[in-house]
A and B are shown apart, each in its own frame.
Chain A
């Protein structure tokens, strides 16, 4: 347990732009029993508790409100069991996503969710936020890959939700827990499903003279009945920022590039590459390049992965948004987002999971410029509203946390939010697990003011 000033500072915020909350005390348990004990101590002292993984969350989910007990899973970082035969691995919640990937190398299996923060974020955080990543387009987000989860409920009781194989009988409490943002209890052991590595992987790079044509190509590829393994878009500003790092040979004069990855058995991969190339030429691609070897493929992805770090070279601060829109409306919404940023005199950089319509417009700016924060928040809100207007939703992978609570009523009626509250109350009748997150509450905890540094080596 830690209560010193530096620990309290460290645990007072996460990767979001939410100003520091206040930590009561920080606990670093290393077993399920210890987590349960921490929860009981919090209850005995009338305090709430906040589960915390690596703190890379972007919506303030791990930011403490009202001096709670912060329960960090950092020390619970063991990979407990890998069952190659049954394609299941049991892990502790503090295992870093990329460490699991590395651990599985050579087994012919992998854990599919690959959030851009995979070097740092934990599986427990992935479960809590139902995180996604480029390859979730074909393989599905975290929920699809979590078979079972051991949870310390907010009253300290330990339960296992789900089954190692297939679906548990009765209510899908596992499914309800995943994406609960730490408000339904603490995941202490997780059984993740392992996916076989594809026999063939081909990566394509397409480039365009307008971002609208790139967006239209995404819609057209899906409309042609193809679901690629990954389908990512980067606009010119991002391409120019990352090319010096990646040397991927991205065309610097292109308004946007698309990375399309197709995997599976050989004949299908060939067929789909042909279809994507044909569709892309019809929708305005200037060139269609298929990576000739692994080296070229790695360079193409390296650029995508360097995107976030490269943004720091443009301006010191950023505000990253995460909304989803219908994939058929990409071209118009991307133009709309750019127009909103222009109108507010801000730079917007677009690098996102285009295949499932998951926008990540990043507003970059210098927060020392007077009045710039007002523009940033005004533009951000307009982007959210535009996404909802075309039939989109508030978040595709980063969650609601503290950041988007105030937008919940724009998407959900009071009755729809009430139904969500019923679920939460069933898990946490006393409101002690990560209070004030997800659903709107009267609390003003965590004002959105301060801005984070751009983390090194991570990508959106």
Chain B
């Protein structure tokens, strides 16, 4: 029996069931209801084709195992680093990397997902190629769905060449001034006073932009990437005390958890129809609500 069929059988076709990844974001969207059976998705890198820039990997694989395999060929994926997280967990939560402006949104990283549906049957969303519009885009729907539509067993992800050099610079500036001084910086963070910029690319280009930021905006090199405050919420235009804004991504990191804004009734209704369509009996990760993202 293949690992996927084995996963399918463990999920079964009745009773509440939840997937445990690394447990690092276990409370995002609320804990699964008591009494849910816990299953784990298959683990391990199945195949990596650096020349194709795609990788096939079990959803239960620790993210570090995947990133190690990719870095041997100087490649990476757009899955945000979260210590202890699994590939499936990062996809289910759907938070993009801090370096989203360079490597793209996590929603653009998932090419194909082999899943088990609420009825216990295996199905495939998407396809293996880097470009694909064959049918509906179920992959994007699955990312960020907290396992409430289907349980992901194995995925194909798109990889990208890693930058030759990464350098964080910091200085007193406005986010706009820092952004306009660089060509597509990988990340821009703002704490209300200081801007931190992540420059990535070929060494000479990074050095050139760093020198420009130093000379014109008074930036200096940072020894490490900035540390983020523990809670993540949507930017509302007001920087909270001790908060750090991810400029352009609508995300603010702060010291306290803030509840997500409720969706408009029309959107909530559509979302409810999507959820009940995929899982009529509410057996997949019951208790979790992708719209209650505060954590």
Is B48 engaged at the interface, CB distance under 8 Å to the other chain? no
In the complex, what's the smallest C-beta–C-beta distance from A5 to chain B, in angstroms? 34
In the complex, what's the smallest C-beta–C-beta distance from A6 to chain B, in angstroms? 32
Task: Decide yes or no: A173 and B270 within 8 Å by CB, A165-B250, A222-B53, A265-B205 being known contacts.
Answer: yes
Q: Which residues of B contact A223 (CB under 8 A)?
A: 50-51
Is B184 engaged at the interface, CB distance under 8 Å to the other chain? yes
For chain A, residues 427 to 460, give those with C-beta under 8 angstroms from any C-beta of chain B: 427, 429, 438-439
Contact string against B for A residues 387-413, beta-carbon threshold 8 Å, 1 for contact and 0 otherwise? 000011111111110001000100111
**Of the 9-residue stretches B61-69, B100-108, B222-230, which lies at the interface with chain A?**
B100-108
Q: List 28 A-B contacts (CB under 8 A).
A: A87-B248, A141-B131, A144-B105, A163-B250, A166-B246, A166-B250, A167-B105, A169-B291, A170-B263, A170-B290, A172-B144, A175-B141, A180-B136, A223-B51, A225-B75, A265-B208, A324-B129, A326-B52, A326-B128, A328-B49, A393-B128, A395-B133, A396-B132, A396-B133, A404-B134, A415-B117, A419-B125, A423-B277
For chain A, residues 130 to 175, give those with C-beta under 8 angstroms from any C-beta of chain B: 130, 132, 136, 140-141, 143-144, 153, 157-161, 163-173, 175
Selected from B125, B149, B208, B250, the residue in CB contact (under 8 A) with A267 is B208
**Are the CB atoms of B209 and A157 closer together than 8 Å?**
no
Chain A, interface residues (CB within 8 Å), range: 35 or more
Is A314 engaged at the interface, CB distance under 8 Å to the other chain? no
**Are the CB atoms of A423 and B131 closer together than 8 Å?**
no
**Are the CB atoms of B140 and A143 closer together than 8 Å?**
yes
Q: Which residues of A contact B183 (CB under 8 A)?
A: 196, 198-199, 264-265
**Are the CB atoms of A167 and B107 closer together than 8 Å?**
yes
Residues of B within 8 A of A (CB): 49-53, 74-75, 94, 96, 104-105, 107-108, 115, 117, 121-125, 127-138, 140-141, 143-145, 149-150, 160-161, 176, 183-184, 201-205, 208-209, 234-235, 246, 248-251, 260-261, 263-264, 266-267, 269-271, 273-275, 277-278, 290-291, 293
- A416 to B150: give the CA distance in the assembly, Å: 12
Q: Which residues of B contact A93 (CB under 8 A)?
A: none
In the complex, what's the smallest C-beta–C-beta distance from A406 to chain B, in angstroms? 13
Q: When A and B form their complex, what is the total count of cross-chain residue pairs whose Cβ atoms lie within 8 Å?
A: 242
In the complex, what's the smallest C-beta–C-beta distance from A339 to chain B, in angstroms? 22
For chain A, residues 215 to 263, give those with C-beta under 8 angstroms from any C-beta of chain B: 219, 222-223, 225-227
Task: Decide yes or no: A176 and B277 within 8 Å by CB, A167-B94, A327-B130, A393-B134 being known contacts.
Answer: no
**Are the CB atoms of B130 and A267 closer together than 8 Å?**
no
In the complex, what's the smallest C-beta–C-beta distance from B293 to chain A, in angstroms? 5
Residues of A within 8 A of B (CB): 85-87, 129-130, 132, 136, 140-141, 143-144, 153, 157-161, 163-173, 175-176, 178-180, 196, 198-199, 219, 222-223, 225-227, 264-268, 271, 324-328, 353, 356-358, 391-400, 404, 408, 411-413, 415-420, 422-427, 429, 438-439
Q: Which residues of A contact B248 (CB under 8 A)?
A: 86-87, 165-166
